Amino acid sequence: MFISDKKTTHFAGGLAFPTYLVTTTINVPYAIEGYLNNFLSNNRTDAVVLVVGDKKTPEKVADFCDKLSGRSDVPVRYVSVKEQEQCLSRFPSLEDYVPYNSIQRRNLGMLMAYEEKAEAIVTFDDDNLVTGGDYLKEHEVGRRVRLPIVQASTGWFNVCDYLDESAHQEFYHRGYPSGQRWKSTPTTISEKEVTVVVNAGLWRGDPDVDAITRLHRPLNVTGLNRNAPSKFGLELGTWCPFDSQNTALARETIPAYFLSPDIGRYDDIWAGFVVRRIADHMGHYVSYGLPLVTQARNTHDLWRDLDAEKFGWQMTDTLVQAIRETSLKEHTYSECALEIINQVEGRLGKFTHDESSTPFFRFLDGYKRWIESLSSISRT
């Protein structure tokens, strides 16, 4: 069973806290069985799974998690609404930014993992199926590795170009700025030893694309291109979005990674751009590729998804330009994130506080509260 006073694991290099896997669900998360089987087949016990519930989550999910935990050396912990409220009582400034019945309850799972000294946090969706390999090893972050590094002359590279689609259709990662799409992007590849702080695993089956793309045509990813590297990094200054669907983040990045409930389905995309700007400043890298998951996508109302993406779609080009042009002087992700938020607020302050701009200003305010809350943990 889960040991709440921080389960630790011995590695060759000494004592370390485990990787935490965090998901939210309003369904029974049967996919977790596949993750546990993957861990078992690779002799991995250095992980904890947090399943963050909501008011719509069936009561039987808690029993399901308990049973899974009893079958494995990897604890599977269901975080009830009551336990989440207890957590929020220590961070009351965040209460308004983790509403019920929203995927952004995932923030609480990340907050709990951070409090419990997780060295890495993997966020995953409950409809993503493990496809093989050593999932945890492929998601290792916070260390130096040798990787092929892609550099694009435009400053943007669509990682989906490295995926094969069954009908040979070109498509873009959700959140890829509209102003950067459908452009020629000459690239060079070199091999380097780099420090990776984020690893964005990609997908088979239904890829993570915008609702407008899904409404236009179905897509089916069969895997990585034959000639594509199984894992690769993007050079400093060469950007692509990353999501929270199958993504590992090193501990140090978490204070800069806030999923805002006020900007719809671009919450993870905008948070990723903040982290990416800081990573560039720090000389850190974001990698993509393995581990691949197969998305057996839950039922979605695509028109509702489109509505939830409209604000993000309209604002992303402007926001990203402002983020990329920030001047950073600090030396931690939390301090740099605050620099970014303050500079973006100053630069884009021309937006008035009318109804249409409220989500943007709440995004900024929520970010400040997240940074302060996690900084208070770091100080204890």
The pTM assigned to this predicted structure is 0.93
Residues 185 and 106 in one domain: no
Distance (Å, rounded) from C-alpha 227 to C-alpha 53?
A: 41
Distance (Å, rounded) from C-alpha 220 to C-alpha 222?
A: 6
Residues 58 and 197 in one domain: no
Give residues with Cβ within 8 angstroms of 380, minimum separation 6: none
Residues 106 and 163 in one domain: no
Residues 11 and 96 in one domain: yes
Amino acid at 94: L
Distance (Å, rounded) from C-alpha 250 to C-alpha 270?
A: 18
- The structural domain count of the chain equals 2
Whether pLDDT at 1 is above 60? no
Domain boundary among 85, 106, 126: 126
Residues 57 and 175 in one domain: no
- Asked if residues 30 and 129 have their Cβ atoms less than 8 Å apart, the reply is no
3-state secondary structure labels for all residues of 122-188 = EEECCCEEECCCCHHHHCCCCEEEEEEEEEECCCECCHHHHEEECCCCCCCCCCCCHHHCCCCCCEE
Strand-pairing partners, residue 371, are none
**Structural domain that includes position 361:** 130-380
Q: pLDDT by residue (tens digit) across 245-266? A: 999 999 999 999 999 999 999 9
Domain boundary among 126, 148, 179: 126
Residues 78 and 113 in one domain: yes
Residues 188 and 336 in one domain: yes
Residues 102 and 134 in one domain: no
Domain boundary among 92, 126, 160: 126
Region 83-89: mean pLDDT is: 95
- Asked if residues 177 and 316 have their Cβ atoms less than 8 Å apart, the reply is yes
Residues 52 and 165 in one domain: no
Residues 224 and 270 in one domain: yes
Residues 183 and 141 in one domain: yes
Residues 254 and 308 in one domain: yes
Q: pLDDT by residue (tens digit) across 308-334? A: 999 999 999 999 999 999 999 999 999
Query: Of 146, 100, 118, 374, which Cα lies nearest the Cα of 261?
Result: 100
- Average pLDDT taken over every residue of the chain: 91
Region 104-129: mean pLDDT is: 95
- Asked if residues 369 and 339 have their Cβ atoms less than 8 Å apart, the reply is no
Residue 342 DSSP SS3? helix
For residue 72, the model assigns a pLDDT of: 85
- Asked if residues 322 and 348 have their Cβ atoms less than 8 Å apart, the reply is yes
- Tokens in use for 190? 């070199």
Distance (Å, rounded) from C-alpha 175 to C-alpha 312?
A: 8
- Angle, helix 333-347 to helix 267-282, in steps of 10 degrees: 120
